Amino acid sequence: MNVFITGNSSGLGLGLTEALMDRDAIVWGMSRTGCALKPKFDDVLRDRQQDLGKLNTIEEGLDRLLSDCLRLDLVILNAGILGRIQEIAHTDVHDLEHMMRVNVWSNKVILDWLIERQLPVTQVVAISSGAAVNMSYGWGGYSLSKAALNNLVRLYAPEMPNTHLTAFAPGLVDTGMQDYLCEEVDSDEFPSTQKLKDARGTEDMPKPREAADRILDLLDTLRSDFDSGEFVDIRKM
């Protein structure tokens, strides 16, 4: 299985990379830090340090990373940033622009590159969030970016007829994002974060590797039970 994944230096992307390699996949990854996993065999993990916020450099990065890749069974558009939880009126528009570059437009550049290079791709899973539809108080920039990501996936589905695309909310996962949400955000001011604090350490917020295995086990179901372009929340499957 050939897999390209973004944001695999930490959190869910790192868990997915580990789980994929345990399933004998060859993984091509992109993140700023790079993936520190040491694979059992040479060449099963190809890694490129890439800032996906720098849109003009992504195509060259893909050319270099995927130069010898002839087909991809799976593309996981996972890289994402949360930004600060704060009122949308107090959020700097330049910070919103940056978040949209990382969470949305980098994925457009990647999909365009795959189409342009005519690289056959069986399945694309773009990691979205319940925030894409909740629009909870304080989650403004992140919610906007994930809502846009859902619609980006819907728009690409008919333009990639040989690929099955899903915008996928993975549920709560115990990653660095949750460190910030659970430890630094005041839930009196932003009540939606209280349920995250309650879920931490319980089965409602699995560790990245466990979440990764759950997601990989659902890939066939995403293709068989849902239309290409749909937004699917793991908690509603």
Ligand X SMILES: NC(=O)c1ccc[n+]([C@@H]2O[C@H](COP(=O)([O-])OP(=O)(O)OC[C@H]3O[C@@H](n4cnc5c(N)ncnc54)[C@H](OP(=O)(O)O)[C@@H]3O)[C@@H](O)[C@H]2O)c1
Enumerate residues 142-201 that contact ligand X by CB under 6 A.
169-170, 172-173, 175-178
> Using CA of residue 161, residue 29, residue 112, residue 215, what is the dihedral sign?
positive
* Spatial separation of the C-alpha atoms in residues 210 and 158, rounded to whole Å: 32
Q: How far is the CB of 89 from ligand X (least distance, A)?
A: 23
CA angle 209, 106, 161 (to 5 degrees): 85
Sign of the C-alpha dihedral, residues 77, 216, 123, 63?
positive
Which of 21, 52, 66, 114 lies at the binding interface for ligand X (CB under 6 A)?
Answer: 52
What is the contact mask toward ligand X in residues 103 to 132, using x (rule: CB under 6 A)? ------------------------x-x---
Which residues have C-beta within 8 Å of that of residue 211, sequence separation ≥ 6?
Answer: 12, 15, 170, 171, 173
- With contacts defined by CB under 6 A, name the span among 20-28, 62-70, 72-80, 182-190 that binds ligand X: 72-80
Q: Which residues pair with 47 in a beta bridge?
A: 29
Instruction: Look up residue 236 and give its DSSP letter.
Output: G
Instruction: Select the span of 47-55, 57-65, 115-123, 227-235 touching ligand X (CB under 6 A).
Output: 47-55
Helices 140-156 and 106-116, axial angle in degrees (round to 10): 20
When the beta carbons of 118 and 203 are compared against ligand X, the nearer one is 203
How many residues of this chain bind ligand X (CB under 6 A)? 29
* The one among 23, 32, 117, 207 contacting ligand X by CB under 6 A: 32
x-or-dash pattern for ligand X, window 78-107, by CB under 6 A?
A: xxxx--------------------x-----
Q: Can you give the binding site for ligand X, defined by CB under 6 A?
A: 7-13, 31-33, 50-53, 78-81, 102, 127, 129, 169-170, 172-173, 175-178
